[in-house]
Structure 1
Amino acid sequence: MLVGSLAITLNLMSVALLAFFIGVVVLSVSAPLCFSKLSHFTFRIRKLALWLLATGPWWIGAICVAIFWPRVEGGLFASWIANFAHWHHADLFTFTSWHGLTLLVCSLILTWMLVVIVIQSRKKSLSMDNLLELCDTNEMPNHNSHQVYSLQLTIPTAFTSGLLSPKVYLTTALQKQVDQQALDIIIQHELAHVRAYDPLFKMIFALFCRFYPKSVNNILMQHYSLLTEQMADHAVTHFHDSLNVAQTLINVAKLQQKLPINCDGMQLSYFANEQISQRVYRLVSPLEKTPVLALVVAIAAFIGAPLFAVSTVDSFHHFIETFFTH
């Protein structure tokens, strides 16, 4: 048995891990409702909402730790917190108790998931590095200070790759099949990904999403990919008419109908890779502001999630203590 600060730390870690997995379950169940409303939000609000969903289990765990953190008794805030959620003898920790079992099992699961994520991410990164090494690349000048490269491939595609120093790649096949205006639209689109460091943030976002069930993970990534593409499309409208951008999307999508490259790489941002109809619709019908009701509902949901997790952790704690020795 441990007593004192170390015991408090281990108990809080067990709270955080338990709240983390409760958060995964709660957000996985409520995610479909959130996804159905995302199209009503502006780009900025959608981006914030998606990041809150992706990182939800982490900040839910952090909030639970903050609420269960031992406080000096007597204060009004401390009294309210104690009535809402409290942890009996938080300064005692036994490895053979359910606290210890929770900490051990959750830690093993979390560690295993992190190892799998790192290995898979490394494999994808090496695959892209090998592709770029095997292909003949030449820098295309006259595109500001950014690096735009021509890639010797017979596949008509364009993409942005790289984390801290992203670069734009356009295949020679694509350059031969589009006119000069369309080529500039494609380049400006990819440069928007470069300025936003989209490959880097897409990888980070994907890492957070991997802790969700596969179905939720896939939908989160689809929504985030769509958002980054729509934001890059919008950036191009500062240089070209939105209808011309939309037409270029359609034309390139037709060229890529038989594209054999996997467009779901975490460190890539492709032009015209998916969800073309939604991107074209947003180009011709831009959303000026988020409806107030949708915003209020979203805020209420994000406030309610950690409170529900805290209540569940507290109820689970008391349930165990009622039937088993602590």
Structure 2
Amino acid sequence: LAFEQQSTEFLSEKYQNDIIVFHCQEPLAFAMGMLHPKVYLSTALMDMLDKEEIDAVVHHELHHKYSYDPLKAFMFSMLTKVIWYIPVLKHMRQSYSVFREVIADDYAIQQTGTELGVGQALLKLIKKKTQFQKQTKFAVSFGDRALNLRIQKILNPTYNIPFNVPIIPIVTSAILMVVLMIMLNLNY
């Protein structure tokens, strides 16, 4: 990862935080790191967005940093992989990711005082959706459901994001838990 020194120093000083601008042809922004997360922005993103949009994106990612979302996402991911046989966990992880994105958007809107920066940045990212993002589905923020909900929330701040209860995974998970408990008790 090659860093863009001048932008890194400028943004780190401006926001009094660890913000790293790295050379990349993809427009990317993310918080990464477990115990000491940092915010990363690609040079392509910096070139694509104006100052207000960059401000909104930085605040959005700072919220992920302050909330230790990279650590939480990692733990949730590990939990769903270790306890893969409980299907409701996968749905909960996806819903959690969407809610964290919306909460980070709300924080950015509060910090900047307007929905414009977040909204315009999202629209530019949708238009710029690259082959890389289509192939890797890099982040939940590029997922169709998450984007639609985020834009709907920006357009209508009183909109409540629906939490769909997946009946089949819940019933399957409950049955599996009961079977596991019975099996554990049979050994004693």
Do both share a fold (TM > 0.5)?
yes
CA distance change for structure 1 residues 163 and 289 in 2, over 3 Å: closer, same or farther? same
Q: CA deviation at 1:145?
A: 2.4
CA distance in 2, matches of 1:153, 1:208: 32
Q: What is the CA RMSD across the aligned residues, in angstroms?
A: 3.7
CA distance change for structure 1 residues 244 and 214 in 2, over 3 Å: closer, same or farther? same
Corresponding residue number in structure 2 for 1:235:
107
CA distance in 1, matches of 2:160, 2:123: 26
Corresponding residue number in structure 1 for 2:18:
147
- Could you tell me whether the CA contact under 8 Å between 2:26 and 2:130 is conserved in 1? no
**TM-score, normalised relative to structure 2:** 0.72
Alignment partner of 1:249 is 2:116: no
- Could you tell me whether the CA contact under 8 Å between 2:29 and 2:45 is conserved in 1? yes
Match of 1:193 among 41, 57, 64: 64
- Could you tell me whether the CA contact under 8 Å between 1:185 and 1:240 is conserved in 2? no
Q: Which has the bigger relative contact order, CA under 8 A and spacing at least 6?
A: 1
Corresponding residue number in structure 2 for 1:262:
136
Which shows bigger deviation, 213-222 or 239-248? Answer: 213-222
CA distance in 1, matches of 2:182, 2:23: 60
- Could you tell me whether the CA contact under 8 Å between 2:55 and 2:117 is conserved in 1? no
Q: CA deviation at 1:216?
A: 4.7
Alignment partner of 1:136 is 2:3: yes
- Could you tell me whether the CA contact under 8 Å between 2:54 and 2:117 is conserved in 1? no
Alignment partner of 1:273 is 2:145: no
CA distance change for structure 1 residues 315 and 146 in 2, over 3 Å: closer, same or farther? closer
Spell out the pairing of 1:153-192 with structure 2 (5 A cutoff). 153-192=24-63
Q: CA deviation at 1:288?
A: 7.8
Alpha-carbon deviations, 1:298-325, whole Å to 9, x = none? Answer: xxxx9xx98xx679946996xx7xxxxx
Identity over aligned residues, as a percent? 24
Q: CA deviation at 1:229?
A: 0.8
CA distance in 1, matches of 2:131, 2:179: 51
- SS at 2:131 equivalent: coil
CA distance change for structure 1 residues 289 and 170 in 2, over 3 Å: closer, same or farther? closer
CA distance change for structure 1 residues 202 and 313 in 2, over 3 Å: closer, same or farther? closer
1:259 alignment partner AA: F
CA distance change for structure 1 residues 146 and 227 in 2, over 3 Å: closer, same or farther? same
CA distance change for structure 1 residues 225 and 314 in 2, over 3 Å: closer, same or farther? closer
- Could you tell me whether the CA contact under 8 Å between 1:159 and 1:271 is conserved in 2? no
Between structure 1 and structure 2, the one with the greater Rg is: 1
1:151 alignment partner AA: F
Structure 1: runs of 5+ lacking an equivalent: 1-131, 265-269, 321-325
CA distance in 2, matches of 1:232, 1:153: 24
- Could you tell me whether the CA contact under 8 Å between 1:164 and 1:197 is conserved in 2? yes
Alpha-carbon deviations, 1:105-138, whole Å to 9, x = none? Answer: xxxxxxxxxxxxxxxxxxxxxxxxxxx3xx3353
1:193 alignment partner AA: H
CA distance in 1, matches of 2:51, 2:142: 20
2:115 alignment partner AA: S
Match of 1:226 among 55, 73, 98: 98
Structure 2: runs of 5+ lacking an equivalent: none
Aligned positions, number: 170
Alpha-carbon deviations, 1:78-113, whole Å to 9, x = none? Answer: xxxxxxxxxxxxxxxxxxxxxxxxxxxxxxxxxxxx
- SS at 1:259 equivalent: helix
